[in-house]
């Protein structure tokens, strides 16, 4: 799963900065933050998150 998370980071870098920069890593907190803001994420980030959730 960590490899998938690193892959998602490439697509979601700006979104992570915009929505989740103050979220502490671990326990799925960053993933949960991205999911909470899914509708506001960039299209590439939304696509990658949707792919990861479908796995």
pLDDT at 45 over 90: yes
d(CA 51, CA 29): 18
Evaluate if residue 1 carries a pLDDT over 80.
Answer: no
Average pLDDT over residues 25-35: 93
Instruction: Kindly state the tokens that stand for 38.
Output: 């899914």
Query: Quick check: 46 pLDDT over 80?
Result: yes
> pLDDT digits over 6-26, tens only?
778 899 999 999 999 999 999
Give the least confident one: 11-15, 16-20, 28-32, 35-39. 28-32
């Amino acid at each position: 799963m960590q490899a998938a998370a690193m892959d998602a980071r490439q697509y979601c870098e700006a979104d992570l900065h915009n929505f989740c920069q103050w979220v502490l890593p671990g326990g799925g907190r960053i993933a949960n933050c991205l999911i909470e803001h899914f509708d506001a994420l960039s299209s590439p980030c939304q696509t990658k998150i949707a792919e990861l959730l479908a796995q």
